[in-house]
């Protein structure tokens, strides 16, 4: 099966952070078209194209733009969420390094759509190598007239600044990200008010994932019809998939929405590495569902995955071979959420830790049926009552594993010893 390279069409080309090179390759054509359109028509185009957010939730992108468009304000902001923190995901890093201008272009298009003059790229600190690439891209874009005070002579102004994170997964949550940019602890805000009305610095703000913004450039450049013809009826366009774990050929792949998960793992990526058997697959990163090998014959699009209880999320496919134990993976996931909880709201701060404690207890062979019931009860409270998405989705791997691998949990209960869990056991201590 062959990849369909739209977002990654410039991967491997030299000097792609030079605006001139990007323009030679057809870049900024989308922005030029947008500059000739009314703001609302740009939003309408994205609506017709059916673009949905690539960061995790799959929210219709045009709607986010509409909220900010409808709010009257002198200042509005476009924020690019490049705080790619979902474990196992590196598509944004790849995209930022191989085609940074496609993201800058997307931001400018979004800015034109809602009437924002200022954009921020919030970049995770673990990607220091990306900073010079984007800095260079912004500089050359300004020189080429694609960013700055008077973009391509249209009179439209759009500036972009880079802001750095410093190791906090929760800052991928949009309001936490705003707090972080404003110079505070990255603790999410309650909603409403929604960011489209009161976001960064209290102004209407549109926050989009790196990949979503890149899509905007291509939609404007190639048109609605072209975009609608890619993917499935409800999820258009291509999607970047990060395939990692115990798989033969790890990496970032681009396919139309709806590609079959099984084919992706076995035909594209060469199946499980080292000739081992497939134990489970987790889609969507640490906050995604863990499923059985017999459940993987499904098309990867936003709605199909949601319907099956998981989420496409950021498009991460985590392949786990049979030398592992599902419970050990669950423990690793929930430990991650417990550690990354910002500590603001009770259900997430206390609940993720208690889930970790209980899973750890089961891993150690000391769990009881009662503990299983407590986990489910607690998980439902964390999911429904936590302040932000981190808490809501932290329970997904736990609950999906309990649903899909009940026998694994049962086999650990009441003093049963699991060598795989035990082997991996370490005293976890974070600095």
Contact code string over 247-266 relative to another protein, x by CB under 8 A: ---xxx--------------
- Estimate the crossing angle of helix 100-114 against helix 61-70, to 10 degrees: 40
Please report whether residue 87 would count as binding another protein according to CB under 8 A: yes
Classified as helix, coil or strand, 360 is helix
Please report whether residue 242 would count as binding another protein according to CB under 8 A: yes
Tokens at 84, concatenated:
């790619």
Please report whether residue 9 would count as binding another protein according to CB under 8 A: no
Residue 89, judged by CB atoms within 10 A of its CB (0-12, 13-18, 19+), counts as: buried
Query: In angstroms, what is the minimal distance from the CB of 408 to another protein?
Result: 16
Which is nearer to another protein, 167 or 233 (by Cβ)?
A: 167
- Whether the link from the prior residue into 4 is cis, omega within 30° of 0, is no
- Among 3, 139, 157, 321, the residue binding another protein under the rule CB under 8 A is 321
Interface of this chain with another protein, residues 370 to 389, rule: CB under 8 A:
374, 377-378, 380-381, 383-387
Which is nearer to another protein, 45 or 205 (by Cβ)?
A: 205
Asked if 104 and 232 touch (Cβ cutoff 8 Å), the reply is no
- Among 205, 217, 341, 400, the residue binding another protein under the rule CB under 8 A is 341
Please report whether residue 184 would count as binding another protein according to CB under 8 A: yes
CA-CA distance, 216 to 135, in Å (whole number)? 21
Please report whether residue 353 would count as binding another protein according to CB under 8 A: yes
CA-CA distance, 95 to 243, in Å (whole number)? 15
Contacts of 337 (CB under 8 A, 6+ apart): 286, 287, 348, 352, 390, 394
Query: In angstroms, what is the minimal distance from the CB of 96 to another protein?
Result: 10
- Among 156, 318, 405, 409, the residue binding another protein under the rule CB under 8 A is 318
Total residues contacting another protein by CB under 8 A comes to 87
Classified as helix, coil or strand, 10 is coil
CA-CA distance, 328 to 420, in Å (whole number)? 8
Please report whether residue 164 would count as binding another protein according to CB under 8 A: yes
Which is nearer to another protein, 245 or 256 (by Cβ)?
A: 245
Q: Tell which phi-psi region holds residue 313, choosing left (phi > 0), alpha (psi between -120 and 50) or beta.
A: left
Interface of this chain with another protein, residues 388 to 417, rule: CB under 8 A:
392
- Among 41, 70, 357, 416, the residue binding another protein under the rule CB under 8 A is 357
Interface of this chain with another protein, residues 93 to 152, rule: CB under 8 A:
93, 124-129
Query: In angstroms, what is the minimal distance from the CB of 149 to another protein?
Result: 22
CA-CA distance, 137 to 142, in Å (whole number)? 9
Which is nearer to another protein, 48 or 126 (by Cβ)?
A: 126
Which is nearer to another protein, 18 or 254 (by Cβ)?
A: 254
Q: Which stretch binds another protein (CB under 8 A): 107-115, 161-169, 223-231, 408-416?
A: 161-169
What stretches of 192-249 adopt beta strand conformation (E)?
205-209, 238-245
């Amino acid at each position: 099966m062959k990849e369909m390279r739209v977002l990654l069409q410039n991967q491997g080309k030299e000097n792609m952070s030079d605006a001139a090179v990007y323009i030679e390759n057809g870049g900024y054509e989308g922005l030029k078209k947008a500059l000739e359109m009314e703001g609302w028509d740009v939003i309408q185009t994205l609506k017709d194209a059916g673009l949905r957010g690539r960061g995790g939730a799959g929210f219709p992108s045009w709607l986010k733009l509409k909220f900010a468009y409808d709010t009257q304000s002198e200042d509005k902001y476009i924020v690019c969420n490049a705080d790619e923190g979902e474990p196992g995901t590196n598509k944004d890093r790849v995209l930022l390094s191989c085609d940074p201008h496609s993201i800058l272009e997307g931001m400018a298009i979004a800015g034109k759509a809602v009437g924002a003059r200022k954009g921020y790229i919030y970049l995770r600190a673990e990607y220091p190598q990306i900073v010079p690439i984007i800095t260079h891209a912004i500089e050359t874009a300004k020189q080429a007239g694609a960013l700055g005070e008077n973009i391509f002579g249209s009179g439209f102004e759009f500036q972009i600044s880079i802001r750095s994170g410093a190791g906090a997964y929760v800052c991928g949550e949009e309001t936490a990200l705003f707090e972080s940019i404003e110079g505070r602890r990255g603790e999410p805000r309650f909603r409403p008010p929604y960011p489209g009305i009161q976001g960064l610095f209290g102004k209407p703000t549109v926050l989009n994932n790196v990949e979503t913004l890149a899509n905007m450039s291509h939609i404007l450049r190639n048109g609605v019809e072209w975009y609608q013809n890619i993917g499935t009826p409800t999820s258009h366009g291509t999607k970047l998939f990060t395939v990692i774990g115990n798989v033969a050929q790890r990496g970032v792949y681009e396919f139309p929405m709806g590609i079959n998960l099984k084919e992706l793992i076995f035909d594209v990526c060469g199946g499980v590495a080292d000739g081992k058997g497939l134990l489970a697959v987790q889609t969507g990163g640490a906050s995604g569902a863990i499923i059985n090998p017999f459940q993987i014959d499904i098309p990867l699009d936003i709605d199909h995955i949601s319907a099956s209880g998981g989420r496409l999320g950021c498009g991460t496919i985590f392949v786990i071979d049979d030398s592992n134990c599902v419970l050990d993976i669950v423990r690793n996931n929930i430990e991650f959420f417990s550690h990354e909880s910002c500590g603001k709201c009770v259900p997430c701060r206390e609940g993720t830790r208690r889930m970790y404690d209980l899973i750890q207890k089961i891993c150690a062979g000391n769990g009881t049926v009662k503990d299983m019931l407590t986990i489910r009860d607690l998980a439902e409270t964390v999911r429904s009552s936590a302040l932000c998405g981190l808490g809501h989705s932290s329970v997904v791997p736990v609950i999906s594993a309990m649903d899909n691998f009940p026998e694994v949990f049962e086999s650990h209960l009441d003093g049963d010893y699991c060598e795989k869990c035990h082997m991996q056991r370490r005293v976890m201590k974070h600095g």
